Amino acid sequence: MAELKRLGRPLLVHAEVEGPIDAVASEIAKKDPRAYFTYLASRPQAAEADAIAIASRLCRETGARTHIVHHSAGDALPLIRAARAEGLPFTAETCPHYLHFVAEEIRDGATPFKCAPPIREKTNRELLWAALGDGLLELVASDHSPCTPQLKKQELGDFMAAWGGISGLQLGLSVTWSGASSRGYGLDRLVKWMCEAPAKLAGLDDRKGRIAAGYDADLTVFEPEQLFRVDVSKLQHKNKLTPYADAELRGVVTSTYVRGTRVFHQGEHATAVNGQFV
């Protein structure tokens, strides 16, 4: 962290520590590995809270900019708030799957829903939305973590053995907008969470994240009121296994532009894309 402070770069923290997870391991081993609540109990919110406490202490000691990735624990939000109130360079994000799914609706054996930290209960989801709304959580990041179907252990339905990660990159904008619009948030908030704040975190806010003179013309043409049902056959992911299969979402992307060049339109990609390292 001292070196990152010198370089002016952020530390990205997966905020879970082993202690609270190890403390419940023996009890978890006795429970049904096909039950989603077995997996949920195996990664208690205390694991995130303890990690955030450590990260905030080290942020205070070093002055290094510290960012909590894929935050899921409502119980740990007061720790983030305290670090921010202290004036520490301490930020956090959440992800579309934590804002969309709830543990109570995940069927036993439905391993495509496994991720770490886990998808938690409905009351926890609403705490995350409230934290986004008041700016405590600054951005929404994809945390896209695809895998080959066999790694999800669907034939066993074993949450404890399955790969942990949500495949949803293509759907992130629509998933987040579906939840945001139903809670009264406008497109201006979506832009802040998914464009402006990520560009700032990445140190690219002098050229990306805004529609302004001199900025890269990275644009999305978006139909915000159009509903659609997720057809996995139309996903561009190499491996199309996703917990969003057959979900009804709001907001359809019709075109995308990279630096002013249209690279996607009505379901079709341009044959060649002039990419640049950023």
The pLDDT confidence band at residue 206, using thresholds 50, 70 and 90, is very high
Question: What does the pLDDT read at residue 31?
Answer: 98
Percent of the chain with pLDDT over 70: 100
- Cβ atoms of 11 and 64 within 8 Å: the answer is yes
Within a 10 A sphere around the Cβ of 237, how many other Cβ atoms?
15
Domain-embedded: residue 200 = yes
Locate 23 and state its tokens: 């403390």
- Cβ atoms of 43 and 49 within 8 Å: the answer is no
Domain-embedded: residue 173 = yes
Cis before 117? omega within 30? yes
SS3 29: coil
Q: How many domains does the chain have?
A: 1
Domain-embedded: residue 262 = no
The pLDDT confidence band at residue 277, using thresholds 50, 70 and 90, is confident
Question: CA nearest 218: which of 237, 239, 194?
Answer: 194
- CA within 13 Å, CB half, 234: 11
Q: pLDDT, tens digit, for every residue of 227-276?
A: 999 999 999 889 999 999 999 999 999 999 999 999 999 988 887 777 78
The pLDDT confidence band at residue 207, using thresholds 50, 70 and 90, is very high
Tell me the backbone φ, ψ of residue 255, rounded to 5 degrees.
Answer: -150, 155
CB proximity list for 99: less than 8 A, separation 6 or greater: 125, 128, 129, 132, 140, 175, 176, 179
Domain-embedded: residue 28 = yes
Domain-embedded: residue 103 = yes
Locate 30 and state its tokens: 């006795």
Question: CA nearest 70: which of 122, 116, 127, 132?
Answer: 116
- Domain range for 54: 2-211
Question: CA nearest 25: which of 46, 42, 49, 47?
Answer: 42
- Cβ atoms of 42 and 24 within 8 Å: the answer is yes
**Identity at 39, one-letter amino acid code:** Y
* Helices and strands in the chain, H and E counts: 10, 8
The pLDDT confidence band at residue 122, using thresholds 50, 70 and 90, is very high
**Identity at 278, one-letter amino acid code:** V
Q: Is the pLDDT of residue 162 over 80?
A: yes
Q: pLDDT, tens digit, for every residue of 20-61?
A: 999 999 999 999 999 999 999 999 999 999 999 999 999 999
The CATH number of whichever domain residue 86 belongs to comes to: 3.20.20.140
What is the model's pTM? 0.96
Domain-embedded: residue 95 = yes
- Cβ atoms of 211 and 221 within 8 Å: the answer is no
Locate 244 and state its tokens: 């969003």
Domain-embedded: residue 77 = yes
Within a 10 A sphere around the Cβ of 160, how many other Cβ atoms?
18
Stretch 57-71: mean pLDDT, rounded? 98
Locate 273 and state its tokens: 């894309």
Locate 67 and state its tokens: 């960012």
- CA within 13 Å, CB half, 217: 9
Stretch 69-96: mean pLDDT, rounded? 98
Locate 182 and state its tokens: 């139903």
Domain-embedded: residue 197 = yes
Locate 185 and state its tokens: 């948030």
Block residue for tokens 């060049």? 261
